[in-house]
């Protein structure tokens, strides 16, 4: 598995696969072809189907130059390697093509060439099954975060500290940011109202309302192109910060414990990323919000003193109960159903934590198996439900 730096990427929303990945690819193309007269960028499959709403063309033009970049849209061509394909061409002043590169944005901001492993990212984790990592921990009397430290070195804590600062800043900006989100839906931001209302309620309702407001805050920041951390993606970036922010604020846990929780959640997300998918275009929303819920559930369970087994069960439950969830963003924007979905998944992660604690971690289906099922279920989903905005809510909304 790759470093957690690849999973937790700090960047601008609204989409890790449709905005961050294409932006990174464009930066590489520009570095290799600074003097091109024209760049022609052909977008395929899901990138072309929902790229406009996800600001794919905007991100690419920002890097390559508005005046010398042509975007060609081919939603009807779905590459077999991965649905998020793009071809970059550099043309000289006679419009002769002298450079061509086809690359895929495979989720969470990562890029891959056909038949090769993701670009510029060494494998640093030897184990990629949670059962094996659990055994590594058990035989040494260690916890999951210590396996992260073993593989990544001490420097990872500085990075996770930065990640936590960006996550907290996104929550705090979002709960204070009123107005309408960009895009044709004219969707009003909800986080500030949820936060204010929650503060007026009694303890039980308040907890739920605050968690909702924190998740809405980060997701709304993402939808408006604000700075967030992929956890594991932009579309699902509200779940982990909401849960951790709420727990830290209400229980006064130290930053150090939050970093260890982020490392624990990182293992959960990394396993899904390396052995299945964290791309809505490849495997539906179960791979984005479902994995985010699993990460947040594991993080919460660790913070509250869970065992290796209860952490594993919390993660498994977070993912299992999102299996089959489709990706059908209305108008190709990362807004409906994405924003509310983050709020619900944050609440569900806290429930999964409690449920796993009651069960003492005893359960039948291991997280590793659920990851395999998620991958297969994702591949069984028709492309209508994998970030093409042609089915589900996206289709119904268009027909209203
Ligand atoms: S529906 Fe889920 S997977 Fe699809 S864009 Fe929204 S958050 Fe991402």
List, for residues 40-88, the tens digit of each pLDDT value.
999 999 999 989 888 899 899 999 999 999 999 999 999 999 999 999 9
Which phi and psi (to 5°) does residue 85 adopt?
Answer: -95, 150
Q: Ligand 1, residues 387, 392, 393, 394: which to mutate, most atoms within 8 A of Cβ?
A: 387
- Nearest residue by C-alpha to atom 8 in ligand 1: 235
Residue 71 is classified by DSSP as E
Give me ligand 1 centre to Cα 92, in Å: 38
Q: How high is the mean pLDDT of the chain? A: 95
Tell me what pLDDT residue 400 has: 44
**pLDDT at residue 120 greater than cutoff 70:** no
Q: Is 332 in the pocket of ligand 1 (CB under 6 A)?
A: no
**pTM assigned to the model:** 0.91
Tell me what pLDDT residue 119 has: 63
Query: Residue 117 — very low, low, confident or very high, per pLDDT cuts 50/70/90?
Result: low
Mean pLDDT value across residues 328-341:
95
Cβ contact 279:16 at 8 Å: no
* For the CA of 54, the nearest atom of ligand 1: 5
Q: Is 78 in the pocket of ligand 1 (CB under 6 A)?
A: no
**pLDDT at residue 293 greater than cutoff 70:** yes
Query: Residue 244 — very low, low, confident or very high, per pLDDT cuts 50/70/90?
Result: very high
d(CA 213, CA 215): 6
Mean pLDDT value across residues 15-20:
90
Give me ligand 1 centre to Cα 154, in Å: 34
d(CA 389, CA 367): 30
**pLDDT at residue 115 greater than cutoff 80:** no
Mean pLDDT value across residues 363-389:
95
Give me ligand 1 centre to Cα 18, in Å: 11
Lowest mean pLDDT among 237-241, 360-364, 371-375: 360-364
Tell me what pLDDT residue 328 has: 95
DSSP class per residue in 232-278: S-STTTTHHHHHHHHHHHHH---HHHHHHHHHHHHHHHHHHHHHS--
- Nearest residue by C-alpha to atom 6 in ligand 1: 338
Q: What is the chain's Cα-based Rg?
A: 20
**pLDDT at residue 399 greater than cutoff 60:** no
Structure token digits, residue 22: 């294409």
Domains belonging to the chain, first-starting first, are 12-112 (3.30.1330.90), 130-396 (1.10.4100)
* For the CA of 387, the nearest atom of ligand 1: 4
Tell me what pLDDT residue 163 has: 98
Q: What would the pLDDT profile of 210-225 be if each residue is shown by its tens digit?
A: 999 999 999 999 999 8
């Amino acid at each position: 598995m790759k470093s957690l730096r690849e999973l937790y990427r700090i960047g601008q929303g609204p989409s890790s696969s449709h905005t961050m990945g294409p932006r990174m690819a464009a930066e590489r193309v520009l570095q290799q072809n600074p003097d091109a007269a024209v760049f022609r960028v052909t977008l395929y499959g899901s990138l072309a189907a929902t790229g406009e709403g996800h600001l794919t063309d905007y991100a690419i033009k920002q890097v390559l130059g508005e005046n010398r970049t042509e975007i060609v849209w081919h939603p009807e061509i779905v590459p077999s390697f991965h649905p998020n394909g793009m071809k970059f061409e550099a043309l000289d002043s006679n419009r002769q093509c002298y450079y061509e590169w086809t690359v895929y944005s495979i989720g969470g901001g990562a890029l891959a060439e056909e038949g090769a492993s993701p670009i510029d990212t060494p494998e640093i984790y030897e184990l990629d099954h949670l059962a094996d990592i659990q055994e590594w921990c058990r035989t040494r009397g260690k916890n999951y975060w210590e396996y992260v430290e073993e593989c990544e070195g001490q420097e990872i804590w500085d990075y996770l500290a930065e990640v936590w600062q960006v996550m907290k800043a996104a929550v705090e900006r979002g709960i204070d940011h009123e107005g309408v989100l960009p895009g044709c839906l004219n969707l009003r931001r909800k986080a500030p109202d949820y936060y204010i209302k929650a503060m007026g309620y009694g303890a039980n309702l308040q907890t739920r309302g605050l968690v909702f407001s924190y998740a809405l805050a980060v997701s709304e920041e993402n939808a408006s192109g604000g700075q967030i951390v992929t956890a594991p993606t932009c579309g699902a970036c509200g779940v982990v910060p909401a849960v951790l922010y709420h727990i830290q604020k209400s229980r006064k846990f130290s930053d150090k414990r939050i970093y260890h929780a982020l490392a624990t959640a990182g293992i959960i997300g990394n396993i899904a990323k390396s052995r299945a998918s964290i791309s809505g275009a490849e495997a539906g929303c179960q791979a984005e919000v479902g994995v985010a819920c699993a990460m947040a559930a594991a993080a919460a369970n660790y913070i509250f003193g869970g065992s290796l087994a209860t952490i594993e069960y919390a993660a498994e439950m977070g993912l299992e109960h999102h299996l089959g969830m489709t990706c059908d963003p209305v108008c190709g924007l990362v807004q409906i159903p994405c924003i509310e979905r983050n709020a619900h998944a944050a609440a569900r992660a806290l429930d999964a934590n409690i449920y796993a604690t009651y069960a003492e971690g005893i359960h039948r289906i291991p997280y590793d198996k659920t990851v395999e099922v998620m991958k297969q279920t994702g591949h069984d989903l028709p492309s209508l439900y994998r970030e093409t905005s042609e089915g589900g809510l996206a289709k119904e909304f268009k027909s209203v």
